[in-house]
């Protein structure tokens, strides 16, 4: 037992064995506080994410001009008018230097005073001007709402710098800015070549205060300043390192081109504004002038909608982070699953909807219920919308998460409630009944209900653990969280008195609940992750997967298991799955039956009896995929675990306080990687390095939902 410490945060624990060789082990310990200690959320190194509500993205480092990934960009535009599609990189980065009385200094980490993610994002630099003199500069950057437009304002405060002697008023200060240009798909790379040079230079025209790159009739970049001048002076930057991709076994560098440089003189108290846009029309001058205050107002309004206590710093940070993911799709809404490379996926959108409701985004959830409700077809929903088209319906959990989001939205919005029209001639209730009926009859893509047990059978790779090629976690059969979500849908239809073409909903739900006793593993003290069965095999003949995985906590949080068994299952998770800010996807224990993970050519990629892999790195097919759901830790799973703990102990004050402390450990993740955001995944092994998308919607939304839920349970 380690005694509580007066302050939260990381510490180092050293264990030394004196009996034999005096061997020593050093490990990291995280002391938890409730609530987490508030921080200023500033960084000297890390990422800033900005979004515009329609799929575009800005992703910059605190170390201005630094690049760590091909996805870093000053403007990753969404060129589709109505849907969030693959982004197009038009501006890679902004590089800047200050000339203070002849002393030329780059604006980078060496003279960075502080950086705040905002939004809007803001950098403060204090640069040397010789003889102990300094000059302070402030850079504010944001994407305009609904526009493919980045605004960057450079200011020289009238007040004296925070340190050093101020420059005399007559001393000249000027900032040089270069914009590195690309014209590529978000997932591509730019390579210097005669063809690339001809394309970029040939598309560019220069104006006195900026330039225009007209790459195609529907694709251009316009950059301009409201003061100073632009000097044509093209240059290439080659072999810009992309260490993130290199660590993933991908191409480790790229090139970019700059048409020239902006010269921006700044006297004390003056500012200069740069605007880059890829829209048909330039943003209005008034909108540009008020960009920073407009964003602050929108963020404050969003936090106010969440109705959070003023002292709830973590809740406010999560409510702010959530705004980056909610985007427009036609007249409705959807959710970007994660930045930098995911788009609006069905499963992620519906899971995120629950946290959106906690943030007061009822209208946006209504919009996504309508946006996806029109695609319900014989029990299926798309797990991905590609532009205007639905594709990839190979998911068994997306329709059920949609149903749960609908249930929770209806609970808050009794009018119109289930009568909401999600498609011409189809209400929300009809869509939900169509999903359930489709499952009972059997869907076109293979989902079916075993009529004897009323449990739902899922084809391989249809749950969120859908890694394939190679097959790493097929979960073919009756996955545990699918049953909890399936029963929840049946109960919703029963309460709503939906017409039941295949027999009373209550009878299906009662039979399924009784059949879930098959999941309990008494010797282990937890729920089977999946009753394994090939297609057509009834649940009574299924083989229980006895490995310890976190999906059972989703089921427990949804009421599938309670009392002493639920407590035993939660205790196992605490011992083997819980890490700071996340839950491992597989315990580092032997599994039964063996899990064979083979490459496409038949090679075994992991020990079938011990498939746990605690580091997510290296080649995708041979190393990262086998680890993705077999040891990698996911922040989005931690909230359900904390919710399950509170429920298992009947919301006893001590249990709720413990669950809140564990969930509060996500606070440390907000200050690393992408500042103010929660990542997709962490290594299961210490030091639990952040991996994958560094800003993930369901990580944020689920943390906010359960954080608020546990706060109510504590009051």
Q: What is the pLDDT of residues 8-27, one digit of tens each?
A: 566 676 666 666 665 666 66
Reported pTM: 0.93
* Locus of tokens 């997306």: 398
Q: H or E stretch including 455?
A: strand 455-457
CB 261 within 8 A of CB 230: yes
The 10 Å CB-count burial string (b at 16+, else e) for 229-267 is ebeeeeeebeebebebbebbeeebbbbbbbbbbbbbebe
Q: DSSP code of 106?
A: E
Neighbour count for residue 130 (Cβ, 10 Å): 11
Distances from the Cα of 6 to the Cαs of 30, 31, 34, in angstroms? 13, 9, 11
Return all residues near 661 (Cβ < 8 A) that are at least 6 apart.
32, 33, 34
Q: Residue 127 in 3-state DSSP?
A: strand
Q: What are the Cα distances from residue 698, in Å, to 638, 693, 695, 702?
A: 11, 12, 9, 6
Q: For residue 20, give every residue at least 6 positions away whose Cβ sits within 8 Å of its Cβ, in sequence order, or none.
A: none
Q: Give the C-alpha separation, 73 to 180, whole Å.
A: 9
Ranges of residues in the chain with a pLDDT under 50 are 1-4, 6, 38-42
| Measured CA distances, 564 to 569, 645, 648 (Å) | 9, 11, 8
Question: Which secondary-structure segment (H or E) carries 362?
Answer: helix 362-373
- Encode pLDDT of 642-659 as tens digits: 999 999 999 999 999 999
What number of other Cβ atoms are within 10 A of residue 291's Cβ? 25
Q: How many CB atoms lie within 10 A of CB 198?
A: 10
Q: Are strands 133-143 and 165-166 parallel, antiparallel or unpaired?
A: parallel
Q: Which of 67, 43, 61 is nearest to 141 (CA)?
A: 61
Q: Does residue 105 sit in helix, strand or coil?
A: strand
The CA distance from 549 to 577, in Å, is 8
Q: Under a CB-based contact definition with an 8 Å cutoff, are residues 355 and 322 in contact?
A: yes
**Distance separating alpha carbons of residues 458 and 537, to the nearest angstrom:** 11
| Distance, CA of 55 to CA of 332 (rounded, Å) | 14
């Amino acid at each position: 037992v380690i005694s509580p410490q007066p302050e939260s945060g990381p510490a180092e624990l050293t264990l030394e064995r004196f009996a034999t060789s005096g061997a020593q082990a050093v490990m990291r310990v995280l002391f938890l506080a409730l609530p987490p200690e508030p921080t200023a959320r500033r960084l000297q190194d890390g990422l800033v994410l900005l979004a515009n509500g329609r799929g575009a993205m800005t992703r910059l480092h605190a170390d201005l001009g630094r690049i760590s990934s091909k996805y870093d960009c000053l403007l990753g535009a969404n060129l589709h008018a109505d849907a969030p599609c693959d982004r197009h990189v038009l501006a890679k980065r902004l590089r800047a230097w200050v000339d203070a009385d002849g002393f030329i200094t780059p604006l980078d980490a060496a003279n960075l005073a502080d950086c705040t993610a905002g939004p809007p994002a803001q950098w403060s630099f204090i640069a040397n001007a010789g003889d102990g003199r300094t000059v302070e500069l402030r850079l504010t950057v944001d994407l305009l709402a609904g526009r493919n437009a980045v605004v960057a304002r450079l200011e020289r405060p009238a007040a004296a710098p925070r340190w050093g002697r101020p420059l005399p008023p007559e001393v000249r200060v000027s900032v040089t800015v270069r914009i590195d240009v690309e014209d590529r798909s978000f997932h591509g790379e730019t390579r210097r070549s005669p063809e690339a040079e001809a394309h970029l230079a040939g598309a560019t025209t220069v104006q006195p205060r900026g330039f225009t790159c007209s790459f195609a009739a529907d694709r251009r970049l316009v950059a301009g300043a409201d003061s100073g001048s632009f000097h044509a002076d093209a240059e290439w930057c080659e072999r810009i390192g992309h260490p993130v991709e290199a660590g993933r076994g991908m191409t480790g560098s790229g090139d970019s081109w700059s048409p020239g440089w902006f010269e921006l003189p700044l006297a004390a108290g003056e500012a200069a504004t740069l605007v880059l846009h890829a829209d048909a029309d330039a943003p209005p001058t008034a909108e540009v002038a008020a960009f920073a205050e407009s964003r602050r107002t929108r963020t404050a309004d969003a936090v106010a909608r969440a109705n959070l206590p003023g002292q709830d710093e973590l809740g406010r940070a999560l409510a702010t982070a959530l705004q980056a993911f909610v985007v427009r799709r036609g007249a409705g809404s959807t959710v970007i699953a994660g930045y930098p490379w995911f788009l609006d996926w069905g499963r992620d959108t519906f899971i995120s909807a629950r946290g959106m409701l906690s943030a007061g985004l009822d209208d946006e959830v209504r919009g996504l219920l309508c946006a996806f409700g029109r695609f319900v077809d014989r029990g299926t929903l798309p797990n991905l919308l590609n532009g205007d088209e639905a594709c990839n319906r190979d998911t068994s959990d997306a329709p059920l998460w949609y149903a749960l989001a609908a249930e929770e939205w209806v609970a808050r919005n009794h009018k119109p409630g289930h009568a909401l029209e999600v498609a011409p001639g189809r209400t929300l209730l009809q869509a939900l009944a169509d999903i359930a009926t489709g499952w009972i009859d059997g869907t076109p893509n293979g989902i079916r209900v075993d009529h004897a047990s009323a449990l739902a059978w899922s084809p391989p790779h249809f749950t969120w653990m859908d890694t394939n090629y190679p097959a790493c976690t097929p979960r073919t059969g009756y996955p545990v969280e699918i049953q909890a979500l399936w029963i929840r849908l049946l109960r919703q239809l029963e309460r709503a008195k939906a017409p039941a073409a295949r027999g009373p909903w209550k009878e299906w739900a009662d039979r399924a609940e009784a059949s879930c006793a098959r999941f309990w593993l008494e010797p282990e003290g937890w729920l089977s992750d999946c009753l394994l069965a090939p297609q057509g095999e009834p649940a009574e003949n299924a083989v229980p997967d006895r490995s310890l995985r976190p999906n059972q906590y989703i089921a427990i949080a949804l009421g599938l298991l309670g009392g002493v068994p639920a407590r035993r299952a939660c205790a196992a998770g605490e011992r083997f799955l819980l890490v700071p800010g996340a839950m491992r996807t597989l315990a580092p224990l032997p599994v039964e039956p063996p899990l064979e993970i083979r490459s496409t050519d038949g090679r075994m990629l992991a020990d079938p009896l011990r498939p746990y892999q605690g580091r997510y790195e290296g080649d995708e097919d041979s190393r990262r995929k086998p680890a993705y759901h077999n040891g990698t830790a996911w922040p989005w799973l931690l909230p359900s675990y904390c919710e399950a703990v509170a429920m298992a102990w009947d919301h006893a004050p001590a249990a709720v306080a413990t669950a809140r402390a564990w969930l509060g450990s996500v606070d440390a993740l907000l200050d690393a990687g992408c500042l103010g955001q929660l990542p997709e995944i962490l290594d299961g092994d210490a030091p639990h390095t952040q991996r994958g998308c560094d800003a993930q919607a369901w990580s944020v939304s689920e943390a906010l939902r359960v954080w608020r839920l546990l706060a109510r349970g504590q009051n």
